[in-house]
Structures are given as structure tokens and as C-alpha cells.
Amino acid sequence: MMRILIIEDDKQASAYLAKGLKEVGHMADQAADGDEGLSMALDGAYDVLIVDRMLPRRDGLSVIQALRKSGNHTPVLILSALGQVDDRVTGLRAGGDDYLPKPYAFTELLARVEALGRRPKSGGDVETVYRVADLELDRLAHRCTRAGRDIPLQPREFRLLEYLMQHAGQVVTRTMLLENVWEYHFDPQTNVIDVHISRLRSKIDKDFDTPLLQTVRGAGYTIRTGSGREGADRDSTAG
Amino acid sequence: MTAPLARLLRTTAFKLSLLYLAVFTGLSGFLLFSVSHNTDSLMTEQVVQTVDAEIQGLSDQYARGGARALVSAIDSRARRPDASLYLFVDFAGNVLAGNISRLPTTVLEEADGGVRRVKYARGEGEMEREAVVRTFEVPGGFRLLVGRDLGEQARFRDILAGALRVWLVVVILMAVVTWAFVSRRVLKRIDAMAASSRQIMDGNLSQRLPLAGNGDEFDRLAVSLNAMLDRIELLMQGLRDVTDNIAHDLKTPLTRLRSRLETTLREARGEADLREALEATIEDSEGLIRIFDALLRIARVEAMSPDRGLEPVDVRAIAEEMAELYGPVLEDEGGRLSLDLAPVPKALGNRELIAQALVNLIENALKYARTDDGQPLSITVMVRQEKDRILLSVADNGPGIMAKDRDRVVDRFVRLEQSRSEPGYGLGLSLVRAIARLHGGTLVLADAQPGLLARLDLVAAPDAKTGGEGRNGDDRS
């Protein structure tokens, strides 16, 4: 469960978002303009902020800049009708942590919010080994094993699995994978990401009874044990 | 004040001419005054020296022969042409010798030897003239006045004043000529530009500012403004195209979507029907969003300034990454994606956009290059250098595009397959062309014999080093 603040002036969109977030078990507060949003963000202890770029009284980027200036590092997801690469760059440079262009699918927003909420805090412990059930990914040794058996992975497959395991238990969309694993921001028309996922799946799931890498229909993929939403069991090493 | 005069007074040409006139008049006046003043002082000084020399000579005469000798010396000197002025009187004021008939009486009374300017007349009935004189008391109650006429100085001043008048006339004439030149040549050009601008503002965007063809400042200004207008016209055209495209091609899917919802509302029998209709609607709306995104992206790229955001980009690396991304897709379908990369310098570009263009070309081949004879699909991504251009090409072994269709297939929403049953919206190549143009290049479609060759040319980055070794025939199958 996360506490999420939605700063969005379109009441309908904001209510729809809040309702959706509450349905999956999060707490959601709403602010209708930049000033109100900034003061709520500064007062309340939120896990993630969802900020629209174009807001009355104080625009979204200025809210984020003011927040960062005051030493608040709550992860921010920027929502905007401006979705081109340079718009994203501007948003991320202003202090945003992720950027989602409108119109968006709720599943994608949820996936991104959860990814932000569970992201390792900077300066804290850095996980060097990710574990989900009997699957282990050693980031230092660059080694992947399942039930003690070595699974050879290509570098890109390794990064793909790494990103999925980093967000274990959460839905990760195709766009998030393209952005974070290949570092490109475009919308492929073909099933290009699915092909890579299916290759990875054939390596980590094929010879085992429990499939770990699952497709979430209409949304993306998730690494999870069984059907629960539990997160990854992680080893932490002070770093 | 009448309107044309008011307009005239407001013109820059008139103000410039007036300023020119004022400055030249002021300068000429100052020059003439200073010449006249200095000359006057110099001449007066010379006159005084002459008078002093005369006095010296006369006082010698007086010392040698007394009053009688003085009278005779004055008489003889007074007869010379260009004689100085003399007056020698006794204590009662009777003239003993001299060539002055009229003089203010006070001059002889103040016989202190000082220099004075006086009015005098030589003979009876003659005009009064000006002179510089000295008057002395001579022992025995006599008084002696010696002076010099200032006529020359007056004549000199007259000459200067005359010259000043002529000069002023010349300056005024020059001001008028300048004004005429400026107003005829310059103002006419500005008026012509203003008239063209008004036509352009009235909506005639194809109108351009007139050029005189002599390459002066106005021509250079007009060339820059015309280039700006070209760009604006292109952007407006793009905007019109997007609007037209939205009107033509987005209304159809929107209408379909609406009909489906209406039908469902009318005929749905249960939750399963509703769910099915809603899922289809979401799918349709996603399609619409994709079209919108693609259109906006094309418009945005077309409107981007070429000098913004372009930096040296490794085209080979992009080609390798895209081949790595798409290789498995082709492989799964039994085809293969090959790389044919020559060592090339970096290109001046935008990494994301070049990658997007390459993806569009590869996806285009994936969609349309399937062969009917069951031959596996083969796509080759090539990078070459040709002089200062970097060529990025995608060749396939599909059916290709007929020569007559190659030009129009890059227009928005153009799909050669008339039934439109294949996936896609006909926007992919438009975006590639827009990206090529942003990079100062072109998108050329050619025959790959067999198949289609799509070639994008980019400008090599200045001072870029040549890339690594080529990896010819690097298969990704």
C-alpha cells in the first residue's frame, strides 16, 4: 500500500485515477492546482506524486522544482499531453522521475507508479542479488541461476531480466522495457518486445514446473511466484 | 497641417535631411565665424603696426624740423596712393595738414596715444568709413592723428558673408537632393515591403517581399524575411495537411467506433456482449491514439528547427542496436536481418529520431515485404559514406514499390494496398521523410532488385572521426 498524491486540475481525470489507485489498495489524495499540490506534497508524507504538467496557478514543472529545492525527494511521475522526447527530457531535467504522456492506459500508469514507489532509495542499500522463488540474478557476478542451474543469458537478456526482477511483483509495460532496457522512446508497432520476452521466458521457465515470467493481458509482464502480488525477496549489501 | 505634409514630416528621409541641413549649416557657420574672427584680428594688428610705423616716421620729422617739417611730410604722404589717414591741428583745432575732412571731435580731444576705431570721411560729401587711429599731443599745443582705413577688412567680411550665402544654398540643395534620393529610393522600397507584408497578413502566404537585385541591405533583409516566410508557409501547409488528414482519415474510425457503441447499446443481451464491445472500443481508441501520436510526431518533427538538438550521432551503433532489437522478430518468422556496415564518421543528428526512422523502415519491410513464393524475408540494414553524407539504407527482398508509386507513398495516410486490410496507417514513411528533412537529407525509395531499397541520407558531423572497422555481412539470423 502506498500513499499517492495526484496533482491534476481535470476533476474527472483525477477522480478516475484516485478511484483506480484505491481499487488496487493504495491511498490517493487529490489536489486541483499547483499551489495546493505543492503545499500538500510538502506537508504529507507521500510515497509517490503524480503531477500534471499544465496546472492552474503554478505549473507542474515549477511544483517539482520547488519541491526538490526544499529537499523533498519523493518520486514524481509527470503526466502530460506533451509527449515528445524533448518534452520528456525537459520534465525529467526539472526533477521528475518518470514521464507518461496523455492519453495513457491506467495499467501503464499503475505499473510506473509502483515501479517508482519501490525503487531503491538513493544512498541506501543496493541489492546485488535479486531472488524470486528459486530464480537468482547476481548482478555483480553477472550470473543467473534457477534451482542451482546456470542459465546463460545474452547481455540484453540479462538487463531485461534484471529490470523485471528489480520490479518483481509489479507489472512492467512494453514501453517501460523499451525505455529502460534499450533506452529508446518510441512506440513500436510490432510485437518486438514480446519476442525478446518469449526468448527470455524459454530460458528461465521452459524446463521448470512453475512459470515465473507472466504476461499480464493488455498491460505488460510481471515476474511473480505463483499468482500472488508479493515482491521479490532481496539480498541487501551495504553500498 | 495637411495630411500629406504631416506624413512627409514623419518620414525618416525628411528627418534625416533636416538633420543633415542643421549639422552642415552649424558647421559652416562655425568655420566661417572662426576664419572671419581670426582674419579680422590679424588684419587689425597689421593696421596698428602700420600706424605705429607712420607715427615713428612723423615724429622723426617733427624732431628734425618742428611743426613746419611735419606739415610738409604729412602733405607729401597724404598725396600717395593708398595713403594712410593724417590730421595735424593746432591748439585751436585749425587743420594744418591732413586728408580727413570729418571726424568726431572727441577723438582729437582724447589725445592719449590709444588705439581707437572711428568713423570718418576723407572729402566733403564722401561716405563715412571706418578706421583705426592713434592721436597724440605734440609739444606746442598741436595734436597729431594717424590712422588706417578698415575698408579692406570690411570687404573681406563681405566676401566671407557672400561665400556663406552661396555655401548655405549649396547645403540646402544637397539636403533636398539627399531627401529626394532617400525618399525615392529607400522609402519606395520600404513602402513596397510594407505593401507586400500587408498582402501576406491578409492571408496571401505565397506572396514574397520584392528584391531589387543589387544585394544591398534591403535586399538582404528581404531575402531573410522571404526565407522566414517560406518556412512559415511550409509549417502552415503542414498544419493544413494535419487538419485535412484528421478530417479525412480519423473521422472514419471515429464513426465506426460510435456505430459499434450505438449498436451495442441497442442490441447487447448481456454482460458478455457489453464487455466484448468495450474491449473492441478500447482497441479502436488505442488505434486512434496511435494515429494522433504519429500525426503529431510528424508535425512536430517538421516544425523542429534543424539546428536544435542535433549532435554527433553514431549511426552504426544505432543500426546495431536496432538489428539486435528486431533480429529475433525476423528470426521467429523464419527470415533474417543482416547488417552491412562500412566504417563511417558520426552523423549530425538526433539519436532517437534516427532510430525511429530506422525502426519505421524495418517495420515497413516487416509489414509489406513478405514474398508470395514462400522465400524467407530478408532485410539488410546498410551504413555507407558518400562524400560528406552518411547513407542509412534498409533493403528487403519483397515485392518492392512500383516506380510510379514511390513518390506518393511517403505522403500521409497513403497505403498502396487499397483494401486497407493490412495493419498500419500509412504514416510511417511520412515520419521518416520528416526526420530526413530535419537532418538536411532526403528519403529515397529505389528498386533493390528485387525488393525495396529505402535510403536516408544524413550529414556527417564536422570534425567527426571515422568509425571503427566495418562489419560486412554481420548476420543477425
Q: Do B293 and A184 touch (CB under 8 A)?
A: no
CA pair distance B17, B182, nearest whole angstrom:
9
Q: Is the pLDDT of residue B114 over 60?
A: yes
**What is the reported pLDDT for B316?**
93
Q: Do A195 and B328 touch (CB under 8 A)?
A: yes
∠ CA A154-A157-A162, nearest 5°, is 125
Q: Which residue of B has its CA nearest to A155?
A: B324
Taking CA atoms, A208 is separated from A131, A158, A162, A195, in Å, by: 16, 19, 19, 20
Cβ atoms within 10 Å of A26's Cβ, excluding its own: 19
**What is the reported pLDDT for B188?**
80
pLDDT band of residue B416 (cuts 50, 70, 90) is low
What ipTM describes this predicted complex? 0.78
How close A67 comes to chain B (CA, Å)? 28
Positive or negative, the CA dihedral B226, B227, B233, B239 is negative
Q: Which of B52-61, B171-180, B418-427 has the lowest mean pLDDT?
A: B418-427
Residues of chain B with CATH 1.10.287.130: 226-303
Where along chain A do its domains lie? 3-117, 129-238
Q: Is the pLDDT of residue A83 over 60?
A: yes
- CB A218, CB A212: distance < 8 Å: no
What residues does B447 pair with on adjacent strands? B452
Residues of chain B with CATH 3.30.450.20: 1-207
Long-range contact set of residues B374-378: C-beta below 8 Å, sequence gap at least 24 = B376/B334, B376/B335, B376/B336, B377/B330, B377/B333, B377/B334, B377/B335, B377/B336, B378/B335, B378/B336, B378/B337, B378/B338
CA pair distance B260, B79, nearest whole angstrom:
134
How close B329 comes to chain A (CA, Å)? 6
Q: Is the pLDDT of residue B86 over 70?
A: yes
| DSSP 3-state of A197 | helix
Domains A3-117 and A129-238 share a fold: no
**What is the reported pLDDT for B132?**
86
Phi–psi pair at A142, nearest 5 degrees: 55, 50
Q: Is the pLDDT of residue A161 over 90?
A: yes
What percent of chain B shows pLDDT beyond 70? Answer: 91
Q: What's the farthest any 2 CA atoms get from each other in chain A?
A: 58
CA pair distance A173, A167, nearest whole angstrom:
11
Long-range contact set of residues B194-198: C-beta below 8 Å, sequence gap at least 24 = none
**Proportion of chain B in helix, strand, coil states, percent, rounded to 5:** 55, 20, 25
CA A169 to chain centre: 11
Cell 551504413 maps to which residue?
A: B383
Q: What is the pLDDT of residues A102-127, one digit of tens each?
A: 888 888 898 899 888 876 555 455 67
Give the mean model confidence (pLDDT) for residues B11-34: 80
Q: Do A186 and B352 touch (CB under 8 A)?
A: yes
Of B446, B453, B466, the C-alpha closest to B342 is B466
CA pair distance B169, B189, nearest whole angstrom:
29
CATH 1.10.10.10 for domain A129-238: yes
| DSSP 3-state of A225 | coil
**What is the reported pLDDT for A76?**
92
CA pair distance A190, B329, nearest whole angstrom:
9
Q: Which residue of B has its CA nearest to A84?
A: B297
**What is the reported pLDDT for B95?**
84
Q: Is the pLDDT of residue B470 over 70?
A: no
Q: What is the pLDDT of residues B182-205, one digit of tens each?
A: 777 777 888 888 888 888 888 888
**What is the reported pLDDT for B371?**
66
Topology (CATH) of A3-117: Rossmann fold (3.40.50)
Q: What's the farthest any 2 CA atoms get from each other in chain B?
A: 158
- CB B410, CB B445: distance < 8 Å: yes
**What is the reported pLDDT for A77?**
93
Topology (CATH) of B226-303: Helix Hairpins (1.10.287)
Give the mean model confidence (pLDDT) for residues B416-444: 76
Tell me: cis bond preceding A155? Omega within 30 of 0 counts. no
Cβ atoms within 10 Å of B394's Cβ, excluding its own: 29
**What is the reported pLDDT for B469?**
43
Give the mean model confidence (pLDDT) for residues A157-181: 89
State the angle between helix axes of B3-10 and B12-78 in degrees (0 to 180), rounded to the nearest 10: 80
Nearest by CB to residue B329, choosing from A83, A187, A195, is: A195
pLDDT band of residue B468 (cuts 50, 70, 90) is very low
Q: Which of B236-250, B414-428, B449-463 has the lowest mean pLDDT?
A: B414-428
Q: B82's torsion region: left (phi>0), alpha (psi -120 to 50) or beta?
A: left
Name the average pLDDT for chain B: 82
Length of chain A: 239
Q: Do A83 and B329 touch (CB under 8 A)?
A: no
Radius of gyration of the CA atoms of chain B, in A: 51
Q: Do B329 and A191 touch (CB under 8 A)?
A: yes
Task: Please give the grid coordinates belonging to residue B474.
Answer: 554481420
Of B84, B75, B81, the C-alpha closest to B46 is B84
Q: Which of A114-128, B252-266, B424-438, B441-455 has the lowest mean pLDDT?
A: A114-128
Q: Which of B34-48, B160-174, B366-380 has the lowest mean pLDDT?
A: B366-380
Beta strands at A76-80 and A98-101: parallel, antiparallel or unpaired: parallel
Topology (CATH) of B1-207: Beta-Lactamase (3.30.450)
**Proportion of chain A in helix, strand, coil states, percent, rounded to 5:** 35, 25, 40
Say which DSSP state B121 is in. B
Cβ atoms within 10 Å of B307's Cβ, excluding its own: 8
Q: Do A189 and B423 touch (CB under 8 A)?
A: yes
Nearest by CB to residue B363, choosing from A156, A182, A189, is: A189
| 2.40.50.140, 3.40.50.720, 3.30.70.1070, 3.30.565.10: CATH of B311-476 | 3.30.565.10
Q: Is the pLDDT of residue B476 over 80?
A: no
